[in-house]
Structure 1
Amino acid sequence: MKKLLMLTAAVSSVFAPIASATEEVNVYSYRQPFLVEPMFDEFTKQTGIAVNVKFSKTGIAEKLAQEGEYSPADVVLTTDISRLVELSNKKVVQAVDSKVINENVPAQYRDSENEWFSLTLRTRNVYSSRDRVGKLGADFDYKDLVNPEYKGKICTRSGKHPYNVSLVASMVAHYGEAEAKTWLEGVKDNLARKPQGNDRAQVKAIKEGLCDVALGNSYYLGKMVNNPKQVSWADSVYINFPGQEANGTHVNVSGMAMAKHAPNHANALKLMEFLTGDKAQQMYAEINYEYPVKEGVKRSELVASWGDFKADKLPLEKIAENHSIAVKLLDETKFDL
Structure 2
Amino acid sequence: MRTLVKLPIVIATAVAAFAVQSPAMAQEKVLNLYSARHYQSDQVIYDTFTKTTGIKINRVEADDAGIVARLRAEGAASPADVILMVDAARMASADSQGLFQPIKSAKLDAAIGANLRAAPTANGVTWTGFSTRARVIAFDPLRVKAEDVATYEQLADPKLKGLLCSRSGSHPYNLSLFATVVERLGDAKGENWLKGMAANMARAPKGGDTDQIRAVASGECAVAITNSYYAARLLRSSKSEDRTVMDRVRIVHPNQATTGTHVNIAGGAVARHAPNRDNAVVFMEFLATPFAQAQFAESNNEYPTAAGVQINNPALTALGGDNFKRDTIALGVVAKNMTKVQQMLDRVGFK
Please give the TM-score of this superposition, normalised by the length of structure 1: 0.90
Structure 2 distance, partners of 1:81, 1:35, is: 22
The answer for the alignment partner of 1:47 in structure 2 is 53
**1:47 offset after TM fit, Å?**
1.5
- Contact in 2 for aligned 1:127/1:239 (Cα 8 Å): yes
- Contact in 1 for aligned 2:195/2:348 (Cα 8 Å): yes
The answer for the alignment partner of 1:326 in structure 2 is 341
**1:33 offset after TM fit, Å?**
4.0
- Contact in 2 for aligned 1:30/1:77 (Cα 8 Å): yes
Match of 1:303 among 295, 301, 316: 316
- Contact in 1 for aligned 2:137/2:252 (Cα 8 Å): yes
Runs of 5+ in structure 2 lacking a partner?
1-27
Match of 2:100 among 93, 96, 100: 93
SS at match of 1:32: coil
Structure 1 distance, partners of 2:198, 2:227, is: 19
1:223-261 Cα shifts (integer Å, max 9, x gaps): 111221422222211110111122111111110000011
1:304-329 Cα shifts (integer Å, max 9, x gaps): 33223111111112211111111111
Structure 1 distance, partners of 2:104, 2:249, is: 44
The answer for the alignment partner of 2:126 in structure 1 is 115
- Is the aligned partner of 1:168 residue 2:178? yes
- Is the aligned partner of 1:264 residue 2:276? yes
Structure 1 distance, partners of 2:288, 2:294, is: 10
Amino acid at match of 1:179: K
**1:27 offset after TM fit, Å?**
0.5
- Contact in 2 for aligned 1:153/1:192 (Cα 8 Å): yes
SS at match of 1:205: helix
**1:139 offset after TM fit, Å?**
8.2
Q: For the structure 1 residues 181 and 31, does the alpha-carbon distance in structure 2 shift closer, same or farther, using more than 3 Å as the test?
A: same
Q: For the structure 1 residues 329 and 323, does the alpha-carbon distance in structure 2 shift closer, same or farther, using more than 3 Å as the test?
A: same
Larger mean Cα displacement after TM superposition, 204-213 or 231-240: 231-240
- Is the aligned partner of 1:38 residue 2:50? no
- Contact in 2 for aligned 1:181/1:329 (Cα 8 Å): yes
Amino acid at match of 1:132: R
Amino acid at match of 1:92: L
1:181-220 Cα shifts (integer Å, max 9, x gaps): 1111111111100000000001111111111110000010
Structure 1 distance, partners of 2:246, 2:162, is: 21
Amino acid at match of 2:317: A
**1:302 offset after TM fit, Å?**
2.4
Please give the TM-score of this superposition, normalised by the length of structure 2: 0.86
- Is the aligned partner of 1:24 residue 2:39? no
The answer for the alignment partner of 1:235 in structure 2 is 247
**1:35 offset after TM fit, Å?**
4.0
Equivalences, count: 315
Larger mean Cα displacement after TM superposition, 106-115 or 252-261: 106-115
The answer for the alignment partner of 2:140 in structure 1 is 129
